[in-house]
Amino acid sequence: MTNFKLVFYCLFCFLLALSAKAGNMPKDTSVISNYKKLVYQDKLNRAKSAKLNFVPILSTITPLPPRRKTPCEMFNEFNNLVHTGLLDEYHGKEQLRYLIPLIETYYYAKGGINYAQEGWVFPVQNYNKNAIGGHGSGFKSGGYNYFTRQVAHPAHDIFMNDNDQDEIDDRTLQPVNVLSISGGIVVAAEPFGTAAAPEKAVFICGYTTLPPNAYFTMHTTAICVLV
């Protein structure tokens, strides 16, 4: 009996010591740690993948190439530079020599044809040369320079029947149309009137392939053509 108690006591002590030792040992957390690492890495990979594959919607739209300006639009800008004094005469003449052939090619490509002088019309509809102020004496081209806009008057003033100045023909009771004197193409349009009446100072420049090549109309109420 004594031996049995001794053996039991020794076994109890052994188990107690083993239990105490196991309690003091650190827990094996390698499995849990590795799992957390895998989860974290997976989230990180997903985030990187999403970032790398993200493409803004706008960047997927291929922008259209800018529309190429027509020779007439180019001349219109050129004329504005000349009128505002931002282009000197030397460089202006160089650009003019470049633009004129382009305009002529563009005109013919759009179906334009040459009109002989016999086919020209008076530029104010239903009027004739008798409407020219001073019977043409007001045309003074001496000293005029397109590039410097030196004082001169290389133009005719044409007057309509409008005694009450309401912009209506007193005979027809209708507005008067300003016409192109020949076949041509509009190369410039520029409002440059006074601040009091800017809408009544429309400037239009037409180009024809036959001399005198360019003609101007000014001080119209509205225009029905585009550059």
**24 shares its domain with 92:** no
Q: For residue 114, is it within any domain? A: yes
Q: Work out the angle at residue 107's Cα, subtended by the Cα atoms of residues 109 and 80, and round it to the nearest 5 degrees.
A: 135
- Cα 222 to its chain centre, rounded Å, is 24
Neighbours of 153 (CB within 10 A): 12
> pLDDT, tens digit, for every residue of 17-55?
444 444 444 444 454 556 566 666 666 666 565 555 544
Residue ranges of alpha helices (H) inside 144-200 are none
**119 shares its domain with 209:** yes
Domain span including residue 20: 2-60
**Helix (H) or strand (E) run with residue 40 in it:** helix 30-53
Question: Helix, strand or coil for residue 197?
Answer: coil
**7 shares its domain with 82:** no
Spatial distance between the Cα atoms of 10 and 3, rounded to a whole number of angstroms: 11
Q: For residue 65, is it within any domain? A: no
Q: For residue 185, is it within any domain? A: yes
| pTM reported for the whole predicted model | 0.63
Q: Is the dihedral of CA 132, 136, 140, 146 positive or negative?
A: positive
**96 shares its domain with 192:** yes
Spatial distance between the Cα atoms of 227 and 225, rounded to a whole number of angstroms: 7
Neighbours of 187 (CB within 10 A): 25
Mean pLDDT of 164-185: 88
Say which residue, 197 or 115, is predicted with more confidence.
Answer: 115
Spatial distance between the Cα atoms of 91 and 85, rounded to a whole number of angstroms: 12
Q: For residue 152, is it within any domain? A: yes
DSSP state of 219: E
Q: Which residue in the block uniquely carries the two structure tokens 């009446």? A: 197
Mean pLDDT of 67-94: 89
Q: For residue 214, is it within any domain? A: yes
Which residues have CB under 8 Å from 69's CB, separation 6+?
A: 77
The total domain count for the chain is 2
Identify the pLDDT of residue 12. 47
**49 shares its domain with 123:** no
* Structure token digits, residue 131: 């409407």
